[in-house]
Structure 1
Amino acid sequence: MSILKIYEYPEPVLRQETKKITEFDENLTQLVNDMGETMYDAPGIGLAAPQVGKSVKLIIVDTSKDREEKKEFMAMVNPEIISHEGKQLDEEGCLSVPELTANVNRYKRITVAYQDLQGTPHELTTEDRFAVVLQHEIDHLNGILFLDHLSSLKRNLYKKKVKKWLKQ
């Protein structure tokens, strides 16, 4: 396993269209394991393949009950939100959008269709914080950053900050 580079806004890979995964092999398993190591090293609670420079439909999310004792995550291949209900406002941050947290409106409850690492289809219904994490990571697969959910004022202030960093 190895720690991968996490791409940060405004890297173009974060906006690229992702491809559906059709090969469920050792390369996919290796990518998932590397993403897990990268996510925990960052540290984060979710990571999408575009964030590590791979334009494929793959996310991982932390499922640990106690991260100090045992770190556990699940991989979701080709995830897609197939139903949703309600609304909630929750604070988010992103490994690809450093030094920014903000409240974002998301669905309260979602059902996600996905495949596991063997290609077997599953559905998962969840709500509250875990639903927020899944929506955030699935957005990455569609070239959407949580920054895109903010007001134009907050978004523009952050963009100015990034331009300043890039000049230095």
Structure 2
Amino acid sequence: MPFPIIKLVTLIAKQLSKPLTNAVKHRAKTSPAFRKICSAPANVYHRWDIQMRTKLLGFKSGPLKKDIQPMNSERAVELGAELIGEFTVYSVAVLLLYAEYYYSSKSNERKESDKKLEFENISNEVLHLSLNVATLEAELREAQRTLGELSSQNHALMEKVYGS
């Protein structure tokens, strides 16, 4: 699939999934159970982020997981809702790309099947025509043999009649 189409599909996926993302964010801010669901991935992301930053800054060993303070509740819910929203956007994009791949592969299979069927039909036609040619060649040889016999009979009759 060409590059601009990929960008277009991604843009469409983002636009289609924005209402779902906004609903997730709104639900995360209002529902206590959903707040817990959103804060868990945010804290995991936060720990991973802190560990990666310390390693990138050149420290040999990053802080232990137990030493990293969890994010405050509001920020964790906001980041978790954002992560879940982005995951939703990319999930929709992946599903759209997979659907496009699936349909294009089915289309290619159908085209290949059509080409194969056309090739078989042409092969059968060529075989049929070659059998016809062989039959016509045999009939031509028979006609030439008959013509040769008639010509020699005609020549023999001409000698009898005109006596040369």
Q: Which category describes the TM-score, using the shorter chain as reference length?
A: under 0.3
Give the structure with the higher percent helix: 2
> What is the TM-score with the length of structure 2 in the denominator?
0.22
Larger radius of gyration: 2
Give the structure with the higher percent strand: 1
- Greater relative CO (CA pairs within 8 A, separation 6+): 2
